[in-house]
Structure 1
Protein backbone atom coordinates (compact mmCIF):
# COMPACT_ATOMS: atom_id res chain seq x y z
CA UNK A 1 0.00 0.00 0.00
CA UNK A 2 1.39 3.39 -1.02
CA UNK A 3 1.68 6.04 1.70
CA UNK A 4 1.20 9.73 0.87
CA UNK A 5 1.59 12.84 3.02
CA UNK A 6 0.30 16.34 2.34
CA UNK A 7 -0.13 19.59 4.24
CA UNK A 8 -2.77 22.31 4.26
CA UNK A 9 -0.77 25.49 4.96
CA UNK A 10 -3.04 28.27 6.20
CA UNK A 11 -1.74 31.78 6.77
CA UNK A 12 -4.18 34.50 7.83
CA UNK A 13 -7.13 34.07 5.46
CA UNK A 14 -5.36 32.08 2.73
CA UNK A 15 -4.31 28.52 2.00
CA UNK A 16 -1.46 27.46 -0.28
CA UNK A 17 -2.76 25.16 -3.01
CA UNK A 18 -1.23 23.31 -5.94
CA UNK A 19 -3.09 22.82 -9.21
CA UNK A 20 -2.08 19.52 -10.81
CA UNK A 21 -1.99 19.55 -14.62
CA UNK A 22 -3.46 16.07 -15.20
CA UNK A 23 -7.04 16.87 -14.16
CA UNK A 24 -6.70 20.54 -13.26
CA UNK A 25 -7.61 19.69 -9.66
CA UNK A 26 -6.31 21.74 -6.75
CA UNK A 27 -4.63 19.83 -3.91
CA UNK A 28 -2.66 20.36 -0.74
CA UNK A 29 1.03 19.99 -1.67
CA UNK A 30 2.56 16.65 -0.79
CA UNK A 31 3.52 13.29 -2.18
CA UNK A 32 4.72 9.76 -1.68
CA UNK A 33 6.66 8.67 1.38
CA UNK A 34 10.05 7.16 0.76
CA UNK A 35 11.05 3.79 2.18
CA UNK A 36 12.10 4.10 5.83
CA UNK A 37 11.05 7.77 6.00
CA UNK A 38 9.04 9.03 8.98
CA UNK A 39 5.62 10.56 8.37
CA UNK A 40 6.77 13.98 9.61
CA UNK A 41 9.98 13.90 7.54
CA UNK A 42 7.94 12.96 4.49
CA UNK A 43 5.48 15.85 4.74
CA UNK A 44 8.28 18.37 5.36
CA UNK A 45 10.37 17.04 2.45
CA UNK A 46 7.49 16.71 -0.02
CA UNK A 47 6.10 20.14 0.82
CA UNK A 48 9.53 21.72 0.37
CA UNK A 49 10.16 19.93 -2.94
CA UNK A 50 6.83 21.14 -4.36
CA UNK A 51 6.76 24.67 -2.92
CA UNK A 52 10.23 25.80 -1.76
CA UNK A 53 8.70 26.43 1.67
CA UNK A 54 9.91 24.86 4.92
CA UNK A 55 7.00 23.97 7.23
CA UNK A 56 7.45 25.02 10.86
CA UNK A 57 4.53 23.60 12.83
CA UNK A 58 2.91 20.82 10.83
CA UNK A 59 0.43 18.85 12.90
CA UNK A 60 -1.30 15.63 11.84
CA UNK A 61 -4.98 16.39 11.16
CA UNK A 62 -6.27 13.43 9.16
CA UNK A 63 -5.59 9.79 8.33
CA UNK A 64 -7.36 8.50 5.23
CA UNK A 65 -7.63 5.32 3.23
CA UNK A 66 -8.29 5.90 -0.45
CA UNK A 67 -9.81 2.93 -2.29
CA UNK A 68 -10.36 2.64 -6.04
CA UNK A 69 -12.86 0.02 -7.15
CA UNK A 70 -13.88 -1.40 -10.49
CA UNK A 71 -16.94 -3.66 -10.70
CA UNK A 72 -16.94 -4.01 -6.92
CA UNK A 73 -13.29 -5.11 -6.69
CA UNK A 74 -10.45 -3.08 -5.21
CA UNK A 75 -7.93 -2.21 -7.93
CA UNK A 76 -5.87 0.35 -6.00
CA UNK A 77 -5.53 1.52 -2.42
CA UNK A 78 -3.33 3.98 -0.57
CA UNK A 79 -3.08 5.77 2.75
CA UNK A 80 -2.93 9.57 2.97
CA UNK A 81 -1.80 11.43 6.08
CA UNK A 82 -2.89 15.07 6.04
CA UNK A 83 -1.18 17.74 8.12
CA UNK A 84 -1.98 21.38 8.76
CA UNK A 85 0.52 24.15 9.40
CA UNK A 86 0.21 27.88 10.03
CA UNK A 87 3.88 28.94 9.93
CA UNK A 88 6.70 28.54 7.44
CA UNK A 89 10.02 29.93 6.30
CA UNK A 90 11.53 30.36 2.86
CA UNK A 91 10.34 31.71 -0.45
CA UNK A 92 7.62 30.20 -2.59
CA UNK A 93 8.92 28.70 -5.84
CA UNK A 94 8.04 30.71 -8.93
CA UNK A 95 7.43 27.42 -10.75
CA UNK A 96 6.64 24.14 -9.00
CA UNK A 97 7.71 20.92 -10.73
CA UNK A 98 4.24 19.55 -9.91
CA UNK A 99 1.91 22.30 -11.19
CA UNK A 100 0.70 25.81 -10.40
CA UNK A 101 1.08 27.17 -6.86
CA UNK A 102 -1.33 29.83 -5.62
CA UNK A 103 -2.50 31.29 -2.34
CA UNK A 104 -6.27 30.80 -2.35
CA UNK A 105 -8.76 32.62 -0.08
CA UNK A 106 -9.97 30.27 2.67
CA UNK A 107 -13.60 30.95 1.85
CA UNK A 108 -13.08 30.00 -1.83
CA UNK A 109 -11.16 26.73 -1.37
CA UNK A 110 -14.20 24.47 -1.63
CA UNK A 111 -15.25 26.24 -4.85
CA UNK A 112 -12.09 25.05 -6.62
CA UNK A 113 -12.07 21.92 -8.78
CA UNK A 114 -10.68 19.01 -6.73
CA UNK A 115 -11.19 15.34 -6.01
CA UNK A 116 -14.64 14.95 -4.45
CA UNK A 117 -13.30 13.56 -1.17
CA UNK A 118 -10.89 16.47 -0.82
CA UNK A 119 -13.82 18.84 -0.27
CA UNK A 120 -14.65 16.87 2.89
CA UNK A 121 -11.01 16.81 4.01
CA UNK A 122 -10.52 20.56 3.55
CA UNK A 123 -13.85 21.33 5.20
CA UNK A 124 -12.96 19.31 8.28
CA UNK A 125 -9.36 20.53 8.62
CA UNK A 126 -10.36 24.18 8.13
CA UNK A 127 -13.34 23.98 10.52
CA UNK A 128 -12.26 21.64 13.32
CA UNK A 129 -9.21 21.01 15.47
CA UNK A 130 -10.01 17.29 15.84
CA UNK A 131 -8.05 14.55 14.14
CA UNK A 132 -10.26 12.94 11.50
CA UNK A 133 -10.09 9.37 10.20
CA UNK A 134 -11.71 8.40 6.95
CA UNK A 135 -12.14 6.15 3.97
CA UNK A 136 -12.99 7.38 0.48
CA UNK A 137 -14.05 4.91 -2.20
CA UNK A 138 -13.79 5.98 -5.84
CA UNK A 139 -14.35 4.53 -9.28
CA UNK A 140 -11.24 4.24 -11.49
CA UNK A 141 -12.09 7.65 -13.04
CA UNK A 142 -12.32 9.17 -9.54
CA UNK A 143 -16.04 9.51 -9.09
CA UNK A 144 -16.74 9.27 -5.37
CA UNK A 145 -18.79 6.15 -4.59
CA UNK A 146 -18.88 6.42 -0.79
CA UNK A 147 -17.04 7.89 2.14
CA UNK A 148 -16.85 7.52 5.87
CA UNK A 149 -15.37 10.05 8.30
CA UNK A 150 -15.06 9.86 12.04
CA UNK A 151 -13.41 11.64 14.91
CA UNK A 152 -12.93 10.53 18.48
CA UNK A 153 -15.97 12.66 19.35
CA UNK A 154 -18.19 11.73 16.38
CA UNK A 155 -18.53 8.08 15.44
CA UNK A 156 -18.58 7.13 11.78
CA UNK A 157 -22.29 6.43 11.75
CA UNK A 158 -23.00 10.14 12.14
CA UNK A 159 -20.62 11.21 9.37
CA UNK A 160 -20.98 8.39 6.85
CA UNK A 161 -22.52 9.01 3.47
CA UNK A 162 -23.07 6.81 0.46
CA UNK A 163 -23.20 8.73 -2.78
Structure 2
Protein backbone atom coordinates (compact mmCIF):
# COMPACT_ATOMS: atom_id res chain seq x y z
CA UNK A 1 0.00 0.00 0.00
CA UNK A 2 1.44 3.34 -1.10
CA UNK A 3 1.38 5.87 1.75
CA UNK A 4 2.36 8.89 -0.33
CA UNK A 5 0.27 11.01 -2.65
CA UNK A 6 0.57 14.30 -4.55
CA UNK A 7 -0.39 17.21 -2.31
CA UNK A 8 -0.73 20.95 -2.85
CA UNK A 9 0.10 22.96 0.29
CA UNK A 10 -1.39 26.40 0.82
CA UNK A 11 -2.25 28.83 3.60
CA UNK A 12 -4.75 31.53 4.45
CA UNK A 13 -4.58 34.07 7.25
CA UNK A 14 -7.23 36.10 9.05
CA UNK A 15 -5.54 39.32 10.17
CA UNK A 16 -7.38 41.04 13.01
CA UNK A 17 -7.13 44.61 14.24
CA UNK A 18 -9.46 44.99 17.24
CA UNK A 19 -12.97 44.40 15.81
CA UNK A 20 -11.86 44.58 12.17
CA UNK A 21 -10.74 41.74 9.90
CA UNK A 22 -8.68 42.21 6.74
CA UNK A 23 -10.30 40.66 3.68
CA UNK A 24 -9.21 40.24 0.09
CA UNK A 25 -11.71 40.63 -2.74
CA UNK A 26 -10.10 38.18 -5.16
CA UNK A 27 -10.22 38.99 -8.83
CA UNK A 28 -9.24 35.42 -9.81
CA UNK A 29 -11.79 34.08 -12.35
CA UNK A 30 -11.43 30.55 -10.90
CA UNK A 31 -12.19 31.54 -7.27
CA UNK A 32 -13.43 35.16 -7.08
CA UNK A 33 -14.93 36.89 -4.07
CA UNK A 34 -14.17 37.83 -0.49
CA UNK A 35 -11.68 35.65 1.36
CA UNK A 36 -8.55 36.02 3.49
CA UNK A 37 -5.11 36.55 1.93
CA UNK A 38 -2.75 33.61 1.53
CA UNK A 39 -1.12 31.38 -1.04
CA UNK A 40 1.11 28.42 -1.80
CA UNK A 41 3.86 26.88 0.29
CA UNK A 42 7.09 26.75 -1.72
CA UNK A 43 9.44 23.75 -1.76
CA UNK A 44 11.53 23.48 1.44
CA UNK A 45 9.62 26.39 3.02
CA UNK A 46 8.10 26.05 6.47
CA UNK A 47 4.36 26.57 6.80
CA UNK A 48 5.05 29.52 9.13
CA UNK A 49 7.46 31.19 6.71
CA UNK A 50 5.06 30.64 3.81
CA UNK A 51 2.16 32.44 5.48
CA UNK A 52 4.40 35.34 6.53
CA UNK A 53 5.74 35.63 2.96
CA UNK A 54 2.32 35.33 1.29
CA UNK A 55 0.77 37.95 3.55
CA UNK A 56 3.66 40.33 2.85
CA UNK A 57 3.27 39.78 -0.92
CA UNK A 58 -0.52 40.23 -0.94
CA UNK A 59 -0.98 42.96 1.68
CA UNK A 60 2.35 44.71 2.31
CA UNK A 61 2.05 43.74 6.00
CA UNK A 62 4.59 41.69 7.94
CA UNK A 63 2.66 39.50 10.36
CA UNK A 64 4.16 38.35 13.65
CA UNK A 65 3.31 35.22 15.61
CA UNK A 66 0.66 33.80 13.25
CA UNK A 67 -1.28 31.07 15.09
CA UNK A 68 -2.32 27.91 13.27
CA UNK A 69 -6.05 27.40 14.00
CA UNK A 70 -7.03 24.67 11.59
CA UNK A 71 -6.88 23.06 8.19
CA UNK A 72 -9.07 22.49 5.15
CA UNK A 73 -8.64 19.56 2.82
CA UNK A 74 -10.20 18.58 -0.47
CA UNK A 75 -9.25 16.94 -3.76
CA UNK A 76 -8.58 19.05 -6.85
CA UNK A 77 -9.61 18.28 -10.44
CA UNK A 78 -6.63 15.91 -10.79
CA UNK A 79 -7.70 14.04 -7.64
CA UNK A 80 -4.67 15.38 -5.75
CA UNK A 81 -5.10 16.31 -2.12
CA UNK A 82 -5.16 20.07 -1.47
CA UNK A 83 -4.42 21.33 2.05
CA UNK A 84 -5.04 24.86 3.30
CA UNK A 85 -3.50 25.77 6.66
CA UNK A 86 -5.63 28.39 8.43
CA UNK A 87 -3.87 31.03 10.54
CA UNK A 88 -4.87 34.04 12.62
CA UNK A 89 -2.55 37.00 13.17
CA UNK A 90 -3.17 39.95 15.45
CA UNK A 91 0.32 41.50 15.31
CA UNK A 92 1.76 43.11 12.21
CA UNK A 93 3.86 45.97 10.92
CA UNK A 94 4.01 47.78 7.62
CA UNK A 95 1.71 49.74 5.37
CA UNK A 96 -1.34 48.10 3.81
CA UNK A 97 -0.87 47.81 0.05
CA UNK A 98 -3.03 45.81 -2.37
CA UNK A 99 -1.48 43.44 -4.90
CA UNK A 100 -2.62 42.04 -8.22
CA UNK A 101 -4.65 39.45 -6.22
CA UNK A 102 -7.40 42.00 -5.50
CA UNK A 103 -8.60 44.83 -3.28
CA UNK A 104 -8.12 44.81 0.50
CA UNK A 105 -10.72 46.03 3.00
CA UNK A 106 -11.15 45.99 6.77
CA UNK A 107 -14.56 44.56 7.79
CA UNK A 108 -16.26 43.65 11.03
CA UNK A 109 -17.24 40.00 11.47
CA UNK A 110 -20.87 40.92 10.78
CA UNK A 111 -19.95 42.77 7.57
CA UNK A 112 -17.83 39.78 6.50
CA UNK A 113 -20.71 37.35 6.98
CA UNK A 114 -22.93 39.42 4.67
CA UNK A 115 -20.29 39.99 1.97
CA UNK A 116 -20.10 38.27 -1.44
CA UNK A 117 -17.79 35.48 -0.28
CA UNK A 118 -15.69 33.23 -2.50
CA UNK A 119 -17.32 29.86 -3.23
CA UNK A 120 -17.58 27.70 -0.09
CA UNK A 121 -15.60 30.21 2.02
CA UNK A 122 -18.59 30.49 4.36
CA UNK A 123 -17.94 26.82 5.26
CA UNK A 124 -14.34 27.69 6.24
CA UNK A 125 -15.25 30.52 8.60
CA UNK A 126 -16.30 28.32 11.55
CA UNK A 127 -12.72 27.05 11.75
CA UNK A 128 -11.63 30.64 12.41
CA UNK A 129 -14.46 31.61 14.76
CA UNK A 130 -15.21 28.42 16.75
CA UNK A 131 -12.38 27.12 18.95
CA UNK A 132 -14.01 23.67 18.98
CA UNK A 133 -13.59 23.28 15.20
CA UNK A 134 -10.18 22.73 13.60
CA UNK A 135 -10.85 20.97 10.29
CA UNK A 136 -13.00 21.47 7.20
CA UNK A 137 -13.20 18.39 4.96
CA UNK A 138 -14.60 18.45 1.44
CA UNK A 139 -14.59 15.04 -0.25
CA UNK A 140 -17.22 14.18 -2.80
CA UNK A 141 -20.57 14.59 -1.07
CA UNK A 142 -18.89 15.17 2.31
CA UNK A 143 -18.66 18.73 3.58
CA UNK A 144 -17.88 18.33 7.26
CA UNK A 145 -16.39 20.28 10.14
CA UNK A 146 -14.47 18.56 12.92
3-state DSSP of counterpart to 1:109: helix
Q: Distance in 2 between matches of 1:119 and 1:76?
A: 23
1:8 matches 2:14: yes
Greater RCO, CA 8 A, separation 6+ = 2
Q: Is the 8 A contact 2:33 2:119 kept in 1?
A: no
Length, aligned pairs only: 138
1:59 matches 2:62: no
TM-score by length of 1: 0.76
- Aligned-residue CA RMSD in angstroms? 1.9
Q: Is the 8 A contact 2:72 2:124 kept in 1?
A: no
TM-score by length of 2: 0.84
1:22 matches 2:18: no
Unpaired stretches in structure 2, ≥5 consecutive residues: 1-6
Q: CA deviation at 1:116?
A: 4.2
Q: Distance in 2 between matches of 1:66 and 1:80?
A: 9
Tell me which residue corresponds to 2:46.
38
1:1-163 to 2 correspondence within 5 Å? Answer: 1-23=7-29, 24-68=32-76, 75-93=79-97, 95-126=98-129, 128-130=130-132, 132-137=134-139, 145-150=141-146
Unpaired stretches in structure 1, ≥5 consecutive residues: 139-144, 151-163
Q: CA deviation at 1:6?
A: 1.2
3-state DSSP of counterpart to 2:57: helix
